Amino acid sequence: MFRIAQVDPIVMHMILAVGGREMEFRRNMQNEDKRGIGSPLWHYSSALRMMADLVGDDDREQLDLDSIHTALYLMLQYEQKYGDERCSGVVGHLSGASLILKHRCNEKLLLSYPSPGVQPTALVSTQRTQQSPGNKPLSLYSARLIVWIALFDAAASSCGVGGELNGTLFKLMSESNATDGIASQFQPLESFEKLHRFSNPLYRTTWGENYPQSELLDDVENRSVYSLLGACTQLRFMIAQLAKLFECDAAAAHQRALVVERSIQEVNNKFSELMEVAAELSLTTDNSHRLVANIRSVVPHFYAVVLDFLRLTQPDDEVTISSRQISALRQIMNLAFQTYKHGGDEAMMRIAWPLFMVALETDDLLHREWALDRLGSISKFGKNFERAHHFLVDVVDMQSRSGKRVNVRERFQSGEVGLFVI
């Protein structure tokens, strides 16, 4: 990313915008309207203008996708933490990323691996060759950035915005890898996993023989838990799409819910060993081993998916919590306590959405207050967390007074609340 910034002014502007805004935010400096040359907002505005000129240039047949995807990812990070409460910037950037995926990456998503005799480094990045970027297959670097943007888009889809990019990605990869019958039920998961797996050699291929053996082993050791994170975010996307289907065709939605349920079970079976290890982790085990920290922050997302799915498919006036929900809540809280003990507030940012689901679903007042307190504490790290906390406080109060679940997606669509992505 920094190597690209050295030769691409859009990426350099975005690095300075994100870094500068982060320093301002953590110092409680309210300089959103400061537009002087060199300010974070000036850098961001400059990057937006340059990106618009670049993408809108009809005479330019090819784009450097490594640079474009890097800039888009940084723009999404900026908007997520410091954007407006309607998430208009997030929506715009995700829509732009989807269009680039559709019109510039269609054939590249065939993801053909290099044939024998082709140097692996040829796939690392378009920045490493004099060949026109448009004549190269999708680089490992761009593939990994598309994975990151897709993770963001899936999270956004369950918070009332986003989803278009994952829909486009799924459609394009379905066309290049058509399946039928029961296998197609899991294709969103399989298509995303294919892209994720394609990008796996990025770091060791970039470093070559200089890649430390310890890092290589660490990558292999953590590969499964990152695959679980990818699967969980795809399930979030599938549940968000299911919610939209319920709004227009309840009968079709009930049929689709069976497919989503089977997909959740498929992920549970595939990563059962990770789930078992997570359940057996002790509070006395610290996070010095990266896999331990990752298990504590990733596995809660699976149980949050379970809560999200059950919340959507159960009647709003169903106040009794099922044994499945109780188990999911217990697993999230157990790992959240451990994460907080060994990582403090900053570590809680990685499990903000599972905490969000706990606060919505638990009937344990102490657990609810603890989850709300943790989300309140991380509000200092971004406006998205601040808006999520305010939203939860209001919804929890509404649920307590009415004795019924509040339809959070209807609240997102009402225009009465600030939107966020966590």
pLDDT in tens, 51-100: 999 987 766 667 899 999 999 999 999 999 999 999 999 999 999 999 99
Burial 1-11 (b: 16+ CB within 10 A, else e): eeebbeebebb
- Which one-letter DSSP state was computed for residue 322? P
pLDDT in tens, 198-239: 999 999 998 888 889 999 999 999 999 999 999 999 999 999
Tell me, rounded to whole angstroms, the distance of Cα 50 from its chain centroid.
Answer: 26
Asked if residue 369 lies in contact with residue 400, where contact means CB atoms within 8 angstroms, the answer is: no
Residue 4, pLDDT score: 92
Residue 1, pLDDT score: 85
Neighbour-count burial of 123, counting CB atoms closer than 10 A to its CB (0-12 exposed, 13-18 middle, 19+ buried): buried
The token duo for 51 is 């990106």
Cα separation of 378 and 395, whole Å? Answer: 19
pLDDT in tens, 254-304: 999 999 999 999 999 999 999 999 999 999 999 999 999 999 999 999 999
**How many residues are given for the chain?**
422
Per-residue confidence at 184, pLDDT binned at 50, 70, 90? low
Q: Across the chain, what does the average pLDDT equal?
A: 89
pTM, two decimals, is 0.92
Phi/psi of residue 359, nearest 5 degrees = -60, -35
Domain range summary for the chain, segments of one domain joined by +: 1-60, 66-249
Q: Find, among 220, 180, 179, 175, the residue nearest to 197 by Cα.
A: 220
